[in-house]
Amino acid sequence: MSTMTTVRPWLRLAHRWLGLIFFPLFMIILLSGAVLALKPIVDDLTTPAVTAPVESGSVLQRLTQLDPQGQASSLRIEGGSIELNSRGAGPQGRFALADGQVQPGGGVDVFAVTEQLHKNLLLGLGVVVEWASWAMLAIVVCGPLLGWLRLRNTLLGWHMAAGWLLLPLIAIGPITAALMILHIGGPQLPPIAPARPALSLSRGLELAAAQVDLSGLHWARSFRAGSVLLEVGSSAGAQRYIVDGGGSVHAAPASKGLVSELHEGTWGGAWSGAINLLAALTLSGLSITGFWSWLRRKRQAGGKVGAAEWLVAHASQTGTAARLAAATADALRQAGYEVACASLAALSPADLERYRGALLLVSTTGEGDVAEPGRRFVSALHGARTAARFSLLELGDRRYAHFCGGGETVRSALLAAGASEAVPAAQADGEPVAAWSEWFKRTQTAFGIEAASSTAVAMSVQDAAVSLKLIERERLDDPESGDTAETWRVCFGVDTLPDCRPGDLLLLAPAANDVERCYSLGRIEREGRGGRLTLTVGLKLTESIHGEPHYGRMSYKLCRELAQGVVLQGKLRRHPGFNPPAIGRPMIMIAAGCGIAPFPGFIAERAGVEGAGASWLLFGNRHFDGDFLYGRELTAWRDQGVLTRLDTAFSRDAGGCHYVPDAVREQAEELLRWLVEDAAVLYVCGRSRLGDGVERALIEALQAHRGFDSAAAQAQLQDWRAAGRLHFDLFD
């Protein structure tokens, strides 16, 4: 691993946390800096008032009268008047030199007050401003080291591009501030004897008047180490003096030195001020975009479970248990309970103990298997101990050999780990609403809670019946090129198309009373009330013990048998856990083989849409030639910019086994940038082992590139799952 890879996580932490901690201070310093940058512009555009010579005695006399406590921090003489600024309660405004009367237009000197705000927050906190300056310098230095410039139309993409492209501009302020703090590059000042307490302006002028003719006095202000700095005009030009604590009057250079002039934007008049204004606004913009994107990420992670009293958790293969769980949680929330609702995939056994009770809804898939999102939870239960109290609803179908096998597996693992069952587990056969209703009533009694009655439940879990006419079928793999897996694009016309989105499921049974097979919806093209639905179907092929091929009945019908024009009856099942994110939100799609099925639909939704958001597809199969499903469409989408990135992994091509998780590992840094910095949503679709491989690769990536240990990386994935940022749709 390169040094940069090791150091980068620390730089990223420094960049982020310094930016967050100092954010309010940065805003004060930068916005006051922006106002101060206007000063050279205003000075350049306005004619300076002619200063009539004044008698030093009258200035001193007036000053002592107006500022008896010596609180004024600066004065300016202008056309027979004296303008005073003070820290705290001292005099403020413009006064006539002749009689001390307040003069109009002499309100607060905005630039003088802003300067004090910029330098010491108006509270004499110069040291805090110095810390903030060092922090800003560190952030500006760390920024470009976090990664090369990449142009992306996202909030952080703009943040990064502005940081990179305007680096010289934004670096000037923090670098010159640091040099000024260290007194490097400033004017050659005479040795200044410190004054304790600081000299008042009147005392400074009194001491100066003994040695210098102050009749051309322009201004005077408190200066370093309690001294007073003043400027006097004469026929030979302006001359500055410092009066120090020892009462000495030293001539001071008229120029502030290059470093100060660069910092203040005074080196070139109006346009150097304009450059400083742009720099201050750019730095403010960078602070705001950095802070905002952090806040957005926090909010997106806000779905994290943990704060509630009750937990509703689900393990659902095709969405039924998930929708029932959401309805269960809603019914409890409506009655005023604090309820967390999450997939078991986002939970560990220890999480369950944090709640007064856990309501679990677990579906069975395959041949008596736990629905995929619950499998890791079951493995984690082996050897664990938990004092959780739970109530379990098992979803299944008696037409399968192992009725509710998955639910039973979860139940025995929980009991073996020491969890207690509040009510005996209930089993739902097929249509689950009646069983759910009964189970929920008993659970409420056992947990001593009372939910609002939920009539929306039946609606929310019901599948919609659809009549489908086969209108088109195209083979996607090319058998000529060798051992490809037979895969077809199957397109149906539907007269009345219910609400549905890519990633939802079409349930088709090969014969009446047969169990249904689930297919992910790809492209959905609506026309009036009807439209077209596209599926990607892999021909299921197993070998009998005698070595004869055995085809899956439904996939055989769809791929080979059904004639065009034939009408099928099916059911549409909403699968909100695997629908594309809102337009504009970056999405990463990872698929192997016919797991590509939903993604042409995801991508097509964004084609031709303004501000559609970045999208990235990582696709794997056996051979580039022959197995690159939808290769032409995907490449065209990539070329048109609909698909921001397209990466592939082919496992049986020359050059060795290259699987999708390998591609994830190779692209780990960029992938994490999308996930972490751009808050992308990641979807994985394919066989179970693809899910395992991608999950492992993501954990490794977080360890290698973000400095996570293994437990923290796993917790990060769980947080993402809980926040709806990581979606797996896997099949056996």
Ligand X SMILES: Cc1cc2nc3c(=O)[nH]c(=O)nc-3n(C[C@H](O)[C@H](O)[C@H](O)COP(=O)(O)O)c2cc1C
Q: Which residues bind ligand X (CB under 6 A)?
A: 316-321, 363-368, 371, 395-397, 400, 402-405, 432, 518
Q: How far is the CB of 319 from ligand X (least distance, A)?
A: 5
Q: Find the shortest distance in angstroms from Cβ 340 to ligand X.
A: 19
User: At residue 146, what is the residue type?
Assistant: L
* Residue placing its CB nearer to ligand X in the complex, 269 or 368: 368
Please give the angle made by the CA atoms of 620, 624 and 628, to the nearest 5 degrees.
Answer: 60
Residue 212 contacts residue 241 (beta carbons within 8 Å): yes
Q: Which is nearer to ligand X, 311 or 614 (CB)?
A: 311
Question: For residues 9 and 552, which CB has a smaller minimum distance to ligand X in the complex?
Answer: 552
* Strand-pair category, 567-573 with 464-475: antiparallel
Least distance from ligand X to the Cβ atom of residue 427, Å: 8
CB of 532 or CB of 573, closer to ligand X: 573
Q: How far is CA 156 from CA 121, 151, 670, 698, in A?
A: 30, 10, 13, 21
Question: In the complex, what is the shortest distance from the CB of residue 436 to ligand X, in angstroms, rounded to a whole number?
Answer: 10
* Ordered alpha helix ranges (H), 223-368: 258-264, 270-300, 320-334, 349-352
Q: How far apart are CA 624 and CA 477, in angstroms?
A: 10
The distance of closest approach from Cβ of residue 570 to ligand X in the complex, given in angstroms and rounded to an integer, is 13
Between residues 176 and 364, which has the closer beta carbon with respect to ligand X? 364
Residue located via tokens 């250079």 = 253
Exposure of 188 by Cβ count < 10 A (0-12 exposed, 13-18 middle, 19+ buried)? exposed
Query: For the chain, what is the radius of gyration of the CA atoms?
Result: 36
Which lies closer to ligand X via its Cβ, residue 266 or residue 317?
Answer: 317
For residue 655, what are the contacts with CB-CB under 8 A and spacing of at least 6? Answer: none
Q: Which residues pair with 717 in a beta bridge?
A: none
593, 485 contact by CB (below 8 A): yes
Cβ 464 to ligand X, closest distance in Å? 14
Q: Which residues, other chains included, contact 182 with Cβ-Cβ below 8 Å and sequence gap of 6+?
A: none
Nearer to ligand X, 522 or 577 (CB): 577
- The amino acid present at 228, given as its one-letter code, is V
Residue placing its CB nearer to ligand X in the complex, 175 or 347? 347
CB of 435 to ligand X, least distance (A): 10
For residues 652 and 628, what is the distance between their CA atoms, to the nearest angstrom?
12
* CA-angle at 54, arms to 48 and 59, nearest 5°: 105
Give, to the nearest 10 degrees, the angle between helix 688-706 and helix 3-21: 80
Least distance between ligand X and beta carbon 694 (Å): 21
Q: Please, what's the b/e burial string for 544-575 (b: 16 or more CB within 10 A of its CB; e: otherwise)?
A: eeeeeeebbebbbbbbeeeeeeeebebbbbbb
User: Shortest approach of ligand X to residue 459 CB, angstroms?
Assistant: 16
> Which residue sits closest to ligand X, CB atoms considered?
396
CB of 157 to ligand X, least distance (A): 38
Question: Among residues 87 and 402, whose Cβ is nearest to ligand X?
Answer: 402
Q: At residue 393, what are phi and psi to the nearest 5 degrees?
A: -110, 120
What SS3 class is residue 675?
A: helix
Q: In whole angstroms, what is the distance from residue 536 CA to residue 138 CA?
A: 52
Which candidate, 248, 249, 230, 227, places its Cα nearest to that of 239? 230
529 is written with which tokens?
A: 């009330």
CB neighbours of 719 closer than 8 A, spacing ≥ 6? 301, 304, 346
Report d(CA 504, CA 518) in Å as an integer: 10
**Choice between 523 and 574, CB closer to ligand X:** 574
> Nearest distance from residue 516's CB to ligand X, in Å?
6
Q: Report the nearest approach of ligand X to the CB of residue 428 (Å).
A: 7
d(C-alpha 660, C-alpha 459), whole Å: 39
Q: How far is the CB of 362 from ligand X (least distance, A)?
A: 8
Both structure tokens of 133: 């300056």
List the alpha helices (DSSP H) in 166-248: 167-181, 201-209
Choose between 140 and 594: whose C-beta lies nearer to ligand X.
Answer: 594
- Nearer to ligand X by Cβ, of 506 and 671: the residue is 506
Provide, rounded to whole angstroms, the least separation between the CB of residue 308 and ligand X.
22
Residue 241 or 390 with smaller CB distance to ligand X: 390
**Token duo for residue 496:** 């009345």
Q: Which of 702, 628, 617, 713 is nearest to 663 (CA)?
A: 617
Give the chain's length. 732
Give whichever of 377 and 630 is closer to ligand X, judged by the CB atom: 377
Of residues 227 and 454, the one with the C-beta less far from ligand X:
454
- Whose Cβ is closer to ligand X: residue 540's or residue 645's? 540
Residue 455 CB, nearest distance to ligand X (Å)? Answer: 20
**Pair 98, 77: CB distance under 8 Å:** no
Cis peptide before 197 (omega within 30 of 0): yes
d(CA 128, CA 29): 11
Comparing C-alpha atoms, which of 616, 565, 557 is closest to residue 586?
616
CB of 575 to ligand X, least distance (A): 8
Nearest-approach distance from CB 387 to ligand X, in angstroms: 27
Nearer to ligand X, 343 or 644 (CB): 343
Q: Which candidate, 519, 559, 552, 551, places its Cα nearest to that of 535?
A: 519
Q: Which of 589, 591, 684, 603 is nearest to 629 (CA)?
A: 591
CA angle 206/211/216 to nearest 5° reads: 75
